[in-house]
Amino acid sequence: MSETLPCALDEAGIARQVHEFYARVRSDTLLGPVFEAAIAPADWPEHLRTMCRFWSSVMLCSGSYSGNPVAVHRSVAGIAPELFPRWLGLFSATASDLFAPDIAAAFTDKATRIAGSLRMAVFFRPGQRPEIA
C-alpha cells in the first residue's frame, strides 16, 4: 500500500493546490467552458503562475501578487453568481485531498471570504438590492 504524505504549506504545496484545482476546473462541465473561453491554451502557464503568486500572497503573506481581481472578473464572459459555490466546492475538495485537515480548512476559509467579497464587488451595483442568500 502506498501512502502519500500530505503537502506542506509552502510554495511547493501551493503550486500543487493551484495546478490540481485548475485541472479540475478545466474538466468541470460548468466552469470549464468559462475558463477555456477566457484563457487561450498558450496562456494557461502564465495564468497558473499568477495564481501561484496570488495564493502565496494569501497563505504565506509573500507579497508576490499584485493585480486587480475585481476588474479582471468583471470582464470574464459567462461569470455568474451561481458559479461561485461550484468554484468553492472544487477548491475545497482539492485542498482536502492534498493537505492535512487544518491546512485544508485554512485554504477553504480564505477562499470563502475572498469569493464572498469578489462576488459582491463584481455583481453588486449601487441602487440594486443586495442578495440576501
Output 6 or 115, the one with its CB closest to ligand HEM: 115
Q: Smallest distance, Å, CB 5 to ligand HEM?
A: 26
Q: Smallest distance, Å, CB 129 to ligand HEM?
A: 21
Q: Smallest distance, Å, CB 29 to ligand HEM?
A: 13
Output 7 or 87, the one with its CB closest to ligand HEM: 87
Q: What residue has cell string 506542506?
A: 8
For residues 28 and 94, the answer to whether their CB atoms sit within 8 Å is no
In DSSP terms, 99 is beta-bridged to 7
Output 2 or 76, the one with its CB closest to ligand HEM: 76
Interacting residues toward ligand HEM by CB under 6 A: 31, 34-35, 38-39, 47, 50, 54, 67, 69, 72-73, 76, 79, 83-84, 87, 111, 114-115, 118
List C-alpha distances in Å: 22 to 45, 49, 50, 123, 131: 11, 12, 12, 23, 28
List C-alpha distances in Å: 39 to 14, 36, 44, 123: 21, 5, 6, 21
